[in-house]
Amino acid sequence: MGSIGASTGENLCASLACTVFASVDFTAAELLLFSGIWFLIGALDDLALDGVWFWQRIFRHRDDEAHGLVFVAPTSADKPVDSDKFPRQAVFVPAWDEADVIADMVGHCLHRWPGQDYRLYIGVYANDPATGFAALRGARGDRRVRMVPLGITGPTSKADCLNHIWHAMRSDERGIM
């Protein structure tokens, strides 16, 4: 009887181990399927954004001048700018209702970054002239500051203001190249 009891115990242990390993394998397969579905959803989301970008790139005629941007800046538009001296860095500052702090911020940036290799682009809204005047006061006629007045009333999203500033920078680049 001793040999029969020992073999039954081994079978029971093997059966228990098989059950545990089968359960772990089933759980791993289910988790892999679950994560695979979410990876697929994420990939489809990325493909949709890429498709929108390609659609706009192919079928949309981009004309940055159509935005009707108006530039008011202390720089002289009469003098041609040498492309070698055009700033290599741009700092975008979308500003809405910042009249209390923008002059100090602009002055501090110009003081702390004394080089000529950058330009501050400050976007201000049509219904917030106090912020624009304060930024100009902080610039004190410095050529590194470019005011970008938006023809729309604010506030809008920061991204909308940044897009207008980006179009202004691109227009500046085309003007000198």
- Among residues 163, 59, 73, 54, the alpha carbon closest in space to that of 120 is found at 73
Q: What are the tens digits of pLDDT across the range 119-166?
A: 999 999 989 999 999 999 999 999 899 999 998 887 888 888 999 999
Structure tokens at 165: 């500033």
Kindly list the distances between the CA atom of residue 92 and the CA atoms of 9, 20, 61, 102, 146, in Å, as whole numbers in the listed order: 75, 59, 25, 13, 10
Does the pTM surpass 0.85? The reply is no
Q: Would you give per-residue pLDDT tens digits along the chain (177 residues)?
A: 455 555 555 666 678 788 888 889 899 999 999 999 999 998 998 899 888 888 888 886 554 444 443 444 444 444 444 555 667 899 999 999 999 999 999 999 999 988 878 999 999 998 999 999 999 999 999 989 999 999 888 788 888 899 999 999 998 888 764
Helix (H) or strand (E) holding 50: helix 2-59
